[in-house]
Amino acid sequence: MEFDTTAHRAKIERTIRSTRRWRIIAPFVIGFMALVGLVIVAALVPRTNLTANVLLTVFIVCPFVIVLFGFFMLLTAAVYGMGRLNETVSRPLAKVETFSAMMSDRVGQVAGEVNRQAVNLGVRTAPIEQRLDHAFDQPVKRKETRNG
């Protein structure tokens, strides 16, 4: 007995297409039937206030609550993830903070030493600098005054 794969494959494809069609069409058909039913109920019920409240609840509040539930679940998962991340990262970040403080102290010490050496050099070369400044200055001509 030989198994015909092309016929079997075609049958599976027809079943898949039919299932897809019904999964797409069925919600529209059910929604349209529900809308027609609600219009009929609204026309038959003399109190439209009750009908408006039911329609508001069914078409606005319920979907809003369903959507918000997903949003709040997402937020809850994010908060949980942030807590786990905080626990995981706190120890390495403490090490980085300690290293950063240690390097800041070392840089401050080196900068202070360089500053002291620069000041010492400036103090030691000040007399030479003054002499060189005066050596290359042009002589100042004095104006003679009548009084003296």
> 84-108, pLDDT tens digit by residue?
888 888 888 889 999 999 999 999 9
Length of the chain: 148
Rounded CA gap, 111 and 101, in Å?
15
Percent of the chain having pLDDT more than 90?
18
pLDDT confidence of residue 113: 95
- 48 Cβ contact list (under 8 Å, min separation 6): 42
pLDDT at 1 over 50: no
Domain ranges of the chain: 68-133
Q: How much is the average pLDDT of 65-72?
A: 86
Rounded CA gap, 148 and 146, in Å?
6
Q: How much is the average pLDDT of 121-128?
A: 88
Rounded CA gap, 107 and 109, in Å?
5
Nearest Cα neighbor of 41 from 27, 29, 53, 28 is 53
Query: Average pLDDT, whole number, for the chain?
Result: 82
Rounded CA gap, 35 and 31, in Å?
6
Structure tokens of 107? 């840089």
pLDDT confidence of residue 102: 94
Q: Is the pTM of this model over 0.75?
A: no
pLDDT band at 30 (very low <50, low <70, confident <90, very high): confident
